[in-house]
Structure 1
């Protein structure tokens, strides 16, 4: 297989694009395409401050690397969740993130959830009985709260996450199976800022996971290979595996599924936009972040319940 651009031996064959590239041209192609997506979806400009949520995984570290290569002002945010595993998952992901930031002379904000709030994610899940034995819902709630808090407190214009096409297609698949209209309305490359909520963007949303793995390896980015120990058996993993089976038979299925959804969403063919004023948004009485609840936001209510149970 030869590189489409130079004719030399190709390092990666992207069947969905009917294109093979050598290492050097692949490392040029990924940032070029990322820049195109940023402009296409009006994610941000070079005058804006970007906060990249980094987990120590291939996608988030690659995103940070790409944005810096493209000349954007991008800092990182690492959230210590207190999740153990075969390699002490949180400690290892923290180490790799710190090393990447130090090696590239980048600014990294670090929030240790247990030190900040007195409980790790697994403990919060256990004492509040959220998640039915898995802390995924508590983890998601905490990450959303903390990412928005840091973006607000440090004056960032936009929050960027490393969600790739496999992630987005799996979420879309699950929400479509359930016809979760509220989630479908909010899914997309950009979630605009509103009433104290930072603008959220996903610059890698059109890249396959395989492509991001290849990019990280080709760039020499050391990342944590292990999945979160709580990911096993998760519904999201099942959706990814199901879509992979379709992709193997018909290359490009995931990309077509996602892009056609975005087209239909943009044109208004599938969904009727709901009244944005239906739910009154106001600052949480405790943390000040936006909420539609009467007084405290979901995160602060969770912390209160944890304190009642543990006495801490």
Structure 2
């Protein structure tokens, strides 16, 4: 029986790539300290910033909100109801219950009220539902944060998410996307700062924290995520990680340290203000306003 490296209690968590065995109390402490260290090492935000956590109802977003609350940060939540039937209704209920548990304000946006639900928009586009959904969430996170006076938006992207994105971009050598992959996306040109405090924490570590902290989260994947290439990339990385612990962390960390600086030096993206809503875009009209125009044209016809 392994014992916690910090006390004589029985270890309940084993982290081979960190060479750690920890009891419940010390694992929760380790997780929260790692979140704090990540925030400080990447200079994500300070105690003076007004921060808004994008919470889906899943383990990662609720977990990071919980950790920030425990660490003493003043962080409110933003939940975007995607209108995906029972899945979205359950997600909103659990998010509201969690906000009440920690006594923080939760802002809720319904896509159906602002534009249309994801099932409707999915049929309007040739792109996968995840692509449309991601575009809308990024738009409303940024728009809402600016409107409500928050300086930082926090997302629950974990190390597995970051590795899956990086692997997909490496396989297609999408250098523009690779240049933009970083734990901190700075404010400016119409954007608030966007940060990922869980970027060095694996999905398993995040799930363990949520479980050991008694967080009631949505366990099911989004119905539209089935078949997504990111899931395949995660499975590949998990297989490698099992044989060589620490591979995920090395893959992502060494990219950030060695490769991305060379890509950023060559990047020069010109942004404009959307002539309809004023949000930043590379074109004349942003993708969300174009979606609204398509919906309007469909209603007229």
TM-score above 0.5, yes or no: yes
* Candidates 187, 198, 203, aligned match of 1:193: 187
1:125 is matched with: 122
Q: What CA distance in whole angstroms lies between the structure 2 residues aligned with 1:130 and 1:148?
A: 25
Post-superposition Cα deviations, 1:263-307, rounded to whole Å, max 9, x if no partner, equal: 1146x3x4252353x52x22212211111212x111101110121
**In structure 2, C-alpha distance between the alignment counterparts of 1:108 and 1:221, rounded to whole Å:** 16
Counterparts of 2:255 and 2:267, CA distance in 1: 21
Aligned partner of residue 224 in structure 2, secondary structure: coil
Which of residues 266, 272, 279 is equivalent to 1:289?
279
Q: TM-score, normalised by structure 2?
A: 0.97
Q: Deviations over 1:156-197 (max 9, x none)?
A: 111000000110011111111111101100101101112110
For residues 231-277 of structure 1, give each alpha carbon's deviation from its aligned partner in whole angstroms, at most 9, with x where no partner exists. 111100000011111011111111110111111146x3x4252353x
| Equivalent in the alignment of 1:103 | 101
| Residues 1:258 and 2:258 aligned together | no
Please name the residue that 1:156 is paired with: 150
Provide closer, same or farther for how the CA distance between residues 189 and 275 of structure 1 changes in structure 2, counting only shifts above 3 A.
closer
Give ranges in structure 2 of 5+ residues lacking alignment: none
1:60 aligns with 2:61: yes
Asked if residue 166 in structure 1 is aligned to residue 151 in structure 2, the reply is no
Q: Once the two structures are superposed, what CA deviation does each residue of 1:198-218 show, in whole Å capped at 9, x if it has no partner?
A: 111000011111111110011
Counterpart-to-counterpart distance in 2, 1:176 and 1:292: 23
Counterpart contact for 2:39–2:45, Cα < 8 Å = yes
How many residues of Structure 1 are paired with residues of Structure 2 in the alignment?
Answer: 300
- Structure 1 residue 310: deviation in Å? 2.8
Of residues 176, 194, 215 in structure 1, which corresponds to 2:209? 215
Aligned 8 A contact 1:196 1:289 in 2: yes
SS at match of 1:230: helix
Specify which of 138, 145, 168 is matched with residue 139 of structure 2.
145
For 2:267 and 2:94, how far apart are their aligned partners in 1? 44
* Corresponding position of 1:10: 11
Unaligned runs of 5+ in 1: none
